[in-house]
Amino acid sequence: MKTMNNLVKSLQYFLVISAELTVLFLGISFLVALGLMYIPKEKMRIWLSKRGIWGNFLGAVVGALTPFCACSTIPMTLGMLNAGAPFGPVMSFVMASPLLNPIIISMVWVLMGAEACLIYFSITFLGSILFGFLLEKAGYVRHVKDIRAGSNYSDDNHDLEDALQYLNLRIKMKWAFSSAWRDFRAVFAYLVIGVAIGAAIYGYVPQEFVVQIAGPGNPIAIPVAATIGVPLYIRAETAIPIGLALSQKGMSLGAVIALIIGGAGMAIPEMTMLASIFKKQLVAAIVIMIWSTAVLGGYAFNIFL
């Protein structure tokens, strides 16, 4: 009987969370794609050309507005550097893009609550600004490789997207939904895997075990979670439903957030692509900054929540 109850609980969790994330992902992706048609890409380039802390702020804003995966973030990063954009704002963009895109923010809001979402956004946004500012001040621009290939990628895409600004609303909406559906298909497997693992944890993992290993009473749970997250490639779309299940079993929210930031911010494919345009010193600095943000963010969660 207990096994049957656990199976029913797992299936209910899987169906409910899958439905919520599907609607959320498609809806937010559609709105973001539609909204970006009204923001000229040249304006984004102008924002990223600002110097000083204001430029870092705008770099983080652009990263938060653009739900890019690594395959899009890295060519755009290279294109901006080749176009002469200041190093600091571009680094703020590099950090903000995987951690602050609207889909992740919406997932945290819906699954963990508005207060958790506000803290997550504040930590990662401020971390992105500080990240770019410190790297520029430390002179890490010297660790950018002299590579020119790939800069046309962003130009070609910008020309296509800029052309969409002159279409009527109906065509824009159709294109936006197509874009949302294409993005959803790309992450569908990750969503299913994450929800399935979360459902198994929710139905079968004893609460006492999770509390003992990663509960609020374990002072090293947060740095351990961040350390596990950095080399473990888990997209945020996968990590968030897993983290939700773990938090419901007693894992501290701080450890959950540390795992999400570490895993989503340091995706192995992204690090590999970054190594093609940055020297190892800069890649190592990026890893350290993401890990530090994950740890500080985790402790902030436990303090404020």
Give per-residue pLDDT as tens, 6-28: 777 788 878 887 887 788 778 87
Mean of pLDDT values over 220-240:
72
Q: What is the structure's pLDDT at 209?
A: 62
Residues in a beta bridge with 144 = 278
Look at residue 125 in the predicted model and tell me its pLDDT. Answer: 94
Residue 58, pLDDT > 60, answer yes
The pLDDT score that the predictor gives to residue 134 is 92
Q: Is 67 helix (H, G, I), strand (E, B) or coil?
A: coil
Q: What is the pLDDT of residue 135?
A: 92
Look at 155 and 8; give whichever has higher pLDDT: 8
The total number of structural domains that make up the chain:
1
Poorest-pLDDT segment among 65-74, 168-177, 211-220 = 65-74
Mean pLDDT of the chain: 77
Note whether 94 and 63 are within 8 A (CB): yes
Average pLDDT over residues 216-223: 81
Mean pLDDT of 24-50: 72
> Within 13 A of 169's CA, how many CA atoms are on the CB side?
1
Which residue range is the domain that position 62 belongs to? 2-304
* Average pLDDT of span 200-209: 70
Cβ–Cβ under 8 Å, residues 265 and 257: no
Q: Is the pLDDT of residue 130 over 90?
A: yes
List the single range of 82-96, 258-272, 287-301 with lowest mean pLDDT. 258-272
pTM above 0.85, yes or no: no
Q: Do the Cβ atoms of 186 and 238 come closer than 8 Å?
A: no
Which tens digit of pLDDT belongs to each residue from 234-262?
566 667 777 778 777 888 888 888 888 88
Q: What is the mean pLDDT of residues 191-213?
A: 72
pLDDT of 133 over the 90 cut? yes
What is the per-residue pLDDT for 26?
Answer: 82
Q: Which residues contact 91 (CB under 8 A, 6 or more apart)?
A: 59, 131, 132, 135, 136, 140, 286
The two structure tokens encoding residue 161: 């997207």
